[in-house]
């Protein structure tokens, strides 16, 4: 019997990665931005991060217990949702509102659609947009070093040059390092790129979606925005572009699996972000761009699915 060839059914590709390992890898990759955010914004940021993570994990546990579903909190997806949501909030955002957003992310966006793998949009971004609609004032209020005002990205959008009206500096180096006002996890481009490099090295994500997304937005911004390198650099470092491109647009569940589909998805993200930022009323647009693109993923995959080998082949020698 040992000499017989045993052929199992497909798929034949094997990988040691699991949902749990992938989730915790992304969680770990976010640590540079999380630690910097805690240092940059202080104890309020720490409290918000802990509350969002704890609420997401507890909400998932209670829901699954109540619905008599298998418990999946150990896979890290709920903890990751809580961390991503917290990193998308201002450190001064009220804790009770963050808790409401965390519950919304887990129950409404994730569990009601069947849990992990069935959600139609990124739960953390879904919750962020829900909070933006419900509590717009608190979601757009930023304080840095005791100064409440616009973020550098909003300052660029509105053509404001007075630093006293900005929550933090608007110098490019400060924007790259993160010593500016904004949400907890989006300010430091450097910290986010360190985490992104870890994910790429671990092969948790590929370069295709984030790089094409950012490149498309850059081209759009140069064409329809200001034809200035410094302006473009600040647009790339400001707001949630890097956080969204590497950590949320690459979500396995809500992004295409086909290579061509990922390219279409990334280009769509870049164009939508450019439209929202340059022509929209808000200086930001990453969250809405990703959510809208998430909704179009089934259509994108249907249009870009590879033709099975042998189908549409040569017939009658032609």
Structure confidence by residue, pLDDT tens digits, 198-238:
999 999 999 999 999 999 999 999 999 888 898 899 899 98
CA distance 307 to 284: 38
Note if the bond before 11 is cis, omega within 30 degrees: yes
Average pLDDT, the chain: 86
Binned at pLDDT 50, 70 and 90, residue 10 comes out as very low
Q: What is the value of pTM for the model shown?
A: 0.86
DSSP 168: B
Question: Which helix (DSSP H) or strand (DSSP E) does residue 57 occupy?
Answer: helix 43-66
For residue 239, report the phi and psi dihedrals to the nearest 5 degrees: 70, -160
Strand partners, 149: 142
Torsion over CA: 116, 122, 125, 131 (sign): negative
Tens of pLDDT, residues 61-107: 999 999 999 888 888 999 999 999 999 999 999 999 999 999 999 99
Binned at pLDDT 50, 70 and 90, residue 282 comes out as confident
Kindly state the greatest CA–CA separation across the chain: 81
CATH code linked to domain 19-304: 1.10.3430
Give 143 or 81, the one with higher predicted confidence: 81
Give 70 or 1, the one with higher predicted confidence: 70
Instruction: Give me Rg for the CA atoms of the chain.
Output: 21
């Amino acid at each position: 019997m040992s000499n017989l060839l045993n052929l199992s059914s497909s798929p034949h590709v094997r990988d040691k990665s699991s949902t749990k390992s992938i989730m915790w890898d992304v969680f770990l990759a976010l640590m540079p931005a999380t630690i910097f955010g805690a240092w940059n914004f202080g104890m309020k940021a720490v409290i918000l991060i802990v509350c969002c993570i704890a609420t997401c994990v507890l909400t998932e546990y209670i829901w699954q217990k109540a619905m008599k579903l298998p418990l999946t909190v150990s896979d890290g997806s709920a903890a990751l949702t809580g961390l991503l949501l917290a990193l998308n909030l201002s450190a001064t955002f009220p804790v009770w509102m963050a808790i409401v957003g965390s519950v919304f992310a887990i129950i409404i966006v994730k569990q009601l659609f069947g849990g992990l793998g069935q959600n139609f949009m990124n739960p953390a971004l879904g919750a962020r947009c829900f909070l933006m609609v419900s509590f717009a004032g608190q979601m757009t209020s930023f304080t840095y070093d005791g100064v409440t005002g616009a973020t550098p990205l909003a300052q660029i959008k509105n053509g404001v040059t007075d630093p006293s009206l900005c929550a933090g500096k608007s110098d490019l180096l400060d924007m790259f390092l993160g010593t500016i006002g904004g949400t907890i996890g989006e300010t430091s481009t450097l910290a986010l790129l360190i985490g992104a490099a870890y994910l790429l090295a671990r092969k948790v994500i590929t370069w295709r979606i984030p790089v094409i997304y950012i490149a498309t937005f850059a081209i759009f911004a140069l064409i329809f925005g200001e034809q200035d390198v410094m302006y473009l650099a600040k647009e790339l470092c400001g707001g949630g572009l890097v956080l969204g491109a590497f950590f949320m647009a690459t979500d396995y569940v809500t992004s295409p699996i086909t290579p061509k589909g990922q390219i279409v998805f990334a280009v769509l993200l870049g164009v939508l972000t450019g439209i929202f930022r340059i022509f929209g009323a808000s200086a930001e647009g990453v969250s809405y761009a990703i959510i809208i693109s998430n909704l179009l993923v089934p259509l994108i995959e249907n249009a870009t699915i590879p033709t099975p080998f042998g189908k549409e082949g040569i017939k009658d020698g032609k």
